[in-house]
Amino acid sequence: MADCCTTTGPRKTSYDLAVIGAGSAGFSAAITAAEQGANVALIGHGTIGGTCVNVGCVPSKTMIRAAEALHGARSAGRFPGLVGEARVADWRRLIAAKNDLVSKLRQKKYVDLLPEYNGIGYLEGAARLNGAGVLVGDNHIAVDKIIVASGGRPALPPIPGIEKVKSLNSTTLLELEALPRSLIVVGGGYIGAELAQMMARMGVAVTVICRSRLLPQVEPEISDALASTFRAEGITLYCGIAYDACREDETGVTVCIKEGSELVELKAERLLVATGRSPNTEDLGLAEAGVAIDARGAIVVDDRMRTSKAGVYAAGDVTDRDQFVYMAAYGAKLAAQNALNGDSLAYDNSAMPWVVFTDPQVAGVGLSEAAAGAAGYSVKTSVVPLDQVPRALAARDTRGAIKLVADAKTDRLLGGQILAPEGADSIQTLVLALKFGMTTKALGETIFPYLTTVEGLKLAAQGFGKDVTKLSCCAG
């Protein structure tokens, strides 16, 4: 897709700050700097807006919601006396609506914002550090401070033969002109889990294969409960396997896996690879400029968002930091403020929420039980299944659980995770509890509205000291 933007603002050869990358992180850095009166060169290459609005959060979540609408209708039978049916009637029309939404948000939240900031000059072209600023194509931009926010792209795992297969990734899956009959999903992380369930609900026979368990980053209780939900919806899971080989012929794709000592061949019409992302660092001249990268190719930054090269900062998916769009924007804002004002602000993700948009949704904040133990805490936990939460009982949907982790010595909350249909909207209460150092006792004594999912946090907090199955409604 051609970029609709042209250079905006005054044409210059020198700026106070250059920002490489015009996605969420790049815009956050540029706007922050412009609001402080700086002249900023915002350098984009390709479609403006980056991953989130174009090929990530926005398109995937609207398609996931569409799949939830299908599932909601089909599952109406959980209420006695109801029958519901739903199907995909026009896949191309659904994809076109997704594309229209992406286009409108890109225009409103990126393109149309540029004229609002006189201090931002938008430059289109491939950027490269040259030791005395930035080269944009053949043009030299003299600048002392630089923020690299060039983002990332889907990664390809080292499975023998996979490079010869016309595999799909998180971008191309949502551009298909027709639904495949069957799909193998390689990877059980955030992206793999979300897209696997979405495609299954669209009517595709889905098999997920992963080296660990489903969502290996989350608590085992949460992972196991979500895996049960997936299997109940007809998704086949092969977890804890090793990848052996991959090939493609006129009948489709074959992936060979090792399950223990047994070799298993799996076949499907298409293959989706969802095994993480790679940072866009190859063509930036980082080595020559003295900017260090890690084994994954990501730029290494400290808690001030500084790279190993003085005057060069980095933020977002191109770094070794948290790979969430809101954390990319947060890190970029810090980078801009530090670059202009003396490195006084530190990156803090101790109360960072995260969400996986499966159904039920998975959301968490803070330390897991294992991480808290590794950090030296004396740990105590409370797990409440959703069938103890009145909201879930009224909705006749008790898929899920809530787990809280606390310091056994001080009773201070250390973290928690929620698996529930409204988990994404409930987690922020726990974020605030952690941010302000609440104890489990204080959370358990807090007033929550009845028949809400978030009330489950109160029950889980009370579960540290009592059997919540013996409480009446609203008790405690």
CA distance 469 to 466: 9
Query: Residue 408: phi, psi to the nearest 5?
Result: -65, -25
303 is an annotated ligand-binding site residue = no
Q: DSSP 3-state assignment of 419?
A: strand
348 is known to lie in a ligand binding site = no
CA 20 centroid distance within chain: 22
Residue 296's closest CA among 323, 257, 273?
A: 323
> 330: part of which helix (H) or strand (E)?
helix 325-341
189 is in an annotated binding site: yes
342 is in an annotated binding site: no
Closest CA to 317 of 338, 303, 302, 331: 331
Paired sense of beta strands 401-407 and 413-420, if any:
antiparallel
Question: Is 423 annotated as belonging to a binding site?
Answer: no
120 CB-contact burial (10 Å; exposed 0-12 / middle 13-18 / buried 19+): buried
* 37 annotated as ligand-binding: no
| H/E segment holding residue 152 | strand 152-154
Q: What are phi and psi of 323, to 5 degrees?
A: -95, 65
Is 476 known to sit in a ligand binding site?
no
| 182 strand-pairing partners | 205
User: 317 a known binding residue?
Assistant: yes
β-pair type (277-279, 152-154): antiparallel
Q: Is 56 annotated as a binding residue?
A: no
Beta bridge partners of 321: none
Q: Give the Cα separation of 94 and 41 in Å (integer).
A: 37
| Packing angle, helices 455-462 and 423-435, rounded to 10 | 50
Classify 46 in phi/psi space as left (phi over 0), alpha (psi -120 to 50) or beta. left
Residue 196 · residue 215 · CB < 8 Å: no
- Is 190 assigned to a binding site? yes
Tokens of 23: 């996605």
Q: Among 207, 201, 166, 159, which residue's Cα sits nearest to residue 183? A: 207
Residue that is written with structure tokens 């039980």 in the block: 369
Half-sphere exposure of 53 (CA within 13 A, CB side): 21
Residue type, 322: D
The answer to whether 124 is annotated as binding is no
Strand order in the sheet with 354-356: 354-356, 361-366, 413-420, 401-407, 379-385
How far CA 286 is from CA of 151, 291, 461, in Å, comes to 15, 5, 48
Q: Give the residue numbers of the binding site.
A: 61, 187-194, 276, 317
| Binding site residue list for NAD(+) | 187-194, 276
Residues at the binding site for FAD are 61, 317
